Amino acid sequence: MSRAKGVEANKIDTLAKSHMPALGIDLGGTKIRAAAVRDNQIITESQQIPTPDGRDNIIDGLVELVNKFRTDVLAGVGIATAGIVNGDTGEIIGSTGNLPGWSGTQLKTVMESRTLLPVHVENDANAAGYAEARVTGLRSKRCVVTVTLGTGIGGGIVLHGRLFRGSNWAAGEVGHIKIAMENKRLCTCGLFDCWEAYGSGRGLIQTAKDLLEGVSDEQTPLASRTTELTTHSIFAASADGDLMAQKIVERWHEHVSHGLVNLAHVLNPDCFVITGGLSEFIDFRLLEDMVIDHCLPTVGDSIEIRQSALGGQAGIIGAAQFVIDELLHLNK
């Protein structure tokens, strides 16, 4: 074949693959979920397995999930995972104690050799942010910052439709901006007073324990259950009218607002999108008021905080969309 014909054939191949679905996988601390995605939409039933313990078992679990979709023709596999990911090599180059032993995993190389499919690996919040920034109404924005509130706090910064990765892939690790100065709360990353140590699920439980110290059972039934507190028990008590629980939830909103205020002054985004398991418990009006109260007027005037449009599917959709966009060289 002549060189010109070879180039043409490659273009046609790329175009054909870009119309195929890609498999998106969201690797979380408790479960791994996967579904096929085309044009920013999930097009199959999703499949899930509990996250196994240890690096090798997690990789076996990922391969098992890919094999469940072997009947579909796939352009490739996108994996969204917590941790700092080199988007070129697909290596996990940093990880907090939330995923012990994950750093150093050559995830792309291992998965490509085991599945014989192109694989793209991305930080979970980056993947979620990439998907959220593509939904109607946000595509044309200059700066969309997605914040995931869950086990940790993650961030995805999309500038003019492209994910901003920083000099060493760690842009958007917003969970580790410092929001206090007392060296009071140790974060799972080893630093003190990170946003994540206050605004994540783990942070909320610690806030509850702090505020419940010295509180009697008559004031709130939560007082005698501090060892078995969960985020759900705190939100349930708050919804039931428990005044102490409401105070804890309000304090958590303040903590969440502190990180947003800092990000707002650095990035002046068009919009914050809040996603992750805890986002359904956010009172958006209260949060927006708290953020605006602590912003310079020019920054506060343009603050918009939205609930996620894609909910729990954002990581899967974003990871898969990366595979397609890589084929088209759209995010380079």
Contact criterion met (CB below 8 Å) for 316 and 26 = yes
Q: Which residue is nearest to ligand BMX (CB)?
A: 152
Q: Which of ligand BMX, Zn ion, none lies near 125, with the C-beta cut-off 5 to 8 A by kind?
A: ligand BMX
DSSP letters of 277-332? TTGGG--HHHHHHHHHHTS-HHHHHT--EEE-SSGGGHHHHHHHHHHHHHHTT---
Q: What is the gyration radius of the CA atoms in the chain, in angstroms?
A: 21
Closest separation in Å from C-beta 51 to ligand BMX: 11
Tell me if 148 contacts ligand BMX by CB under 6 A: yes
Q: Say how far apart CA 23 and CA 14 lie, in whole Å.
A: 17
Nearest to 203 by CA among 260, 254, 244: 254
Nearest to 315 by CA among 33, 13, 9, 11: 33
Who contacts 192 (Cβ-Cβ below 8 Å, separation ≥6)? 178, 183, 184, 185, 186
Q: What are phi and psi of 225, to 5 degrees?
A: -120, 30
Q: Say how far apart CA 245 and CA 235 lie, in whole Å.
A: 7
Tell me if 175 contacts ligand BMX by CB under 6 A: yes
Q: By rule CB under 5 A, what count of residues binds Zn ion?
A: 5
Token pair belonging to 181: 């100065």
Q: Which is nearer to Zn ion, 138 or 194 (CB)?
A: 194
Which one of 95, 115, 207, 313 is in contact with ligand BMX (CB under 6 A)?
95
Q: Which is nearer to ligand BMX, 6 or 190 (CB)?
A: 190
Closest separation in Å from C-beta 176 to Zn ion: 4
Tell me if 194 contacts Zn ion by CB under 5 A: yes
Closest separation in Å from C-beta 34 to ligand BMX: 16
Which one of 189, 234, 261, 295 is in contact with Zn ion (CB under 5 A)?
189
Tally of CA atoms within 13 A in the half-sphere of 120 that contains its CB:
27
Q: Which of Zn ion, ligand BMX, none lies near 27, with the C-beta cut-off 5 to 8 A by kind?
A: none
Q: Say how far apart CA 221 and CA 24 lie, in whole Å.
A: 42
Closest separation in Å from C-beta 272 to Zn ion: 20
Residues in the chain: 332
Tell me if 132 contacts ligand BMX by CB under 6 A: no
Site for Zn ion in 112-141 (CB under 5 A): none
Q: Which is nearer to ligand BMX, 36 or 99 (CB)?
A: 99
First CA to last CA distance, the chain: 29
Tell me if 187 contacts Zn ion by CB under 5 A: yes
Which one of 58, 96, 163, 222 is in contact with ligand BMX (CB under 6 A)?
96
Q: Which is nearer to ligand BMX, 205 or 212 (CB)?
A: 205
Binding mask 8-27 for ligand BMX (x = CB under 6 A): --------------------
What are the residues binding ligand BMX (CB under 6 A)?
A: 28-29, 82-84, 95-96, 98-99, 123-125, 148, 150-154, 173, 175, 196
